[in-house]
């Protein structure tokens, strides 16, 4: 998930920034003085995400592997639009909302497509249902996080992290799911874990909101 633009000083605050955001900033620096705009990169991320979902919607393990790697690439490209916006001063409310909508759509489609691709596997007709539940839960997670950012700001809505890595960086490991062909196991975990995380995030939002009101 790319970051909203709160301030240039916060965006460039050195060592606290995630590793993938730092790398994305270096890669897009040559685009700073070109006609390229952040929304162009968001659209590239969207197209990659749609290609990934199309691949994962097939039973073929070869296509699933391609889709998983394209998804990981899409997840990384997600950081480039925000970095370009910071460098070029081209940030906008529309761009931020466009980015969030693309995030929610791609991650929702990821699980829905995965479930559809496994309909002929051990989970049978339950797979698409489980994928839909996981996908809707992920969409809810994105909506909750957007609401947190709107009410509490980027810093106040920051999710748990470890060093140079944020909690959503675990999605970079998604290709391992297809490489080792544990798609059914992953889908079951997502079916249980995504709703659970959405519930936790809703509770966390309430706690932070209460603290903010007290202050």
The full set of domain ranges for the chain reads: 8-214
Instruction: Read off the pLDDT of residues 91-136 as tens digits, 9 standing for 90 and up.
Output: 888 888 899 899 989 999 999 999 999 999 999 999 999 999 999 9
Region for residue 153 given its phi and psi (left: phi exceeds 0; alpha: psi -120 to 50; beta: otherwise) = left
Strand partners, 162: 165
Residue 215 confidence (pLDDT)? 65
Mean pLDDT for the chain overall: 86
Residue 188 confidence (pLDDT)? 97
Answer whether residue 152 shows pLDDT above 70: yes
**What pLDDT band is residue 153 in, cutting at 50, 70 and 90?**
confident
**What pLDDT band is residue 170 in, cutting at 50, 70 and 90?**
confident
Residue 163 confidence (pLDDT)? 55
DSSP element (H, E) containing 162: strand 161-162
**Torsion 106-110-116-117 (CA) sign:** positive
Residue 151 confidence (pLDDT)? 84
**What pLDDT band is residue 64 in, cutting at 50, 70 and 90?**
very high
CA separation for the pair 50, 71 (Å, rounded):
9
Residue 142 confidence (pLDDT)? 84
Residue 15 confidence (pLDDT)? 52
Between residues 32 and 132, the one the model is more confident about:
132
Give the residue-averaged pLDDT of 39-67: 96
CA separation for the pair 2, 36 (Å, rounded):
17
Residue 164 confidence (pLDDT)? 59
Q: Is the CB of residue 2 less than 8 Å from the CB of residue 79?
A: yes
Answer whether residue 58 shows pLDDT above 90: yes
Give the residue-averaged pLDDT of 180-199: 96
CA separation for the pair 2, 204 (Å, rounded):
21
Answer whether residue 11 shows pLDDT above 60: no
Residue 7 confidence (pLDDT)? 42
Answer whether residue 44 shows pLDDT above 70: yes
Regarding the domain with residue range 8-214, which homologous superfamily does it belong to in the CATH classification?
CDP-alcohol phosphotransferase transmembrane (TM) domain (1.20.120.1760)
Residue 13 confidence (pLDDT)? 45
CA separation for the pair 46, 202 (Å, rounded):
27
């Amino acid at each position: 998930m790319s970051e909203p633009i709160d301030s240039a000083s916060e965006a460039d605050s050195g060592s606290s920034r995630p590793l993938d955001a730092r790398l994305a900033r270096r890669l897009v620096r040559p685009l700073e003085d070109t006609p390229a705009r952040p929304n162009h990169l968001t659209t590239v991320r969207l197209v990659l995400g749609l290609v990934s979902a199309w691949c994962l919607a097939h039973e073929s393990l070869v296509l699933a592997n391609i889709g998983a790697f394209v998804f990981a690439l899409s997840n990384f490209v997600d950081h480039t639009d925000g970095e370009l916006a910071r460098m070029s001063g081209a940030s906008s409310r529309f761009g931020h909302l466009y980015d969030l909508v693309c995030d929610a759509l791609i991650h929702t489609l990821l699980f829905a497509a995965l479930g559809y691709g496994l309909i002929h596997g051990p989970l049978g007709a339950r797979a698409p249902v489980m994928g839909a539940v996981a996908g809707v839960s992920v969409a809810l997670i994105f909506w909750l996080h957007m609401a947190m950012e709107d009410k509490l700001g980027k810093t106040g809505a920051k999710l748990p992290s470890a060093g140079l890595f944020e909690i959503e960086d675990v999605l970079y490991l998604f290709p391992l799911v297809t490489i080792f062909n544990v798609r059914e196991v992953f889908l079951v975990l997502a079916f249980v874990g995504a709703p659970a995380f959405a519930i936790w995030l809703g509770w966390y939002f309430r706690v932070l909101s209460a603290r903010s009101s007290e202050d």
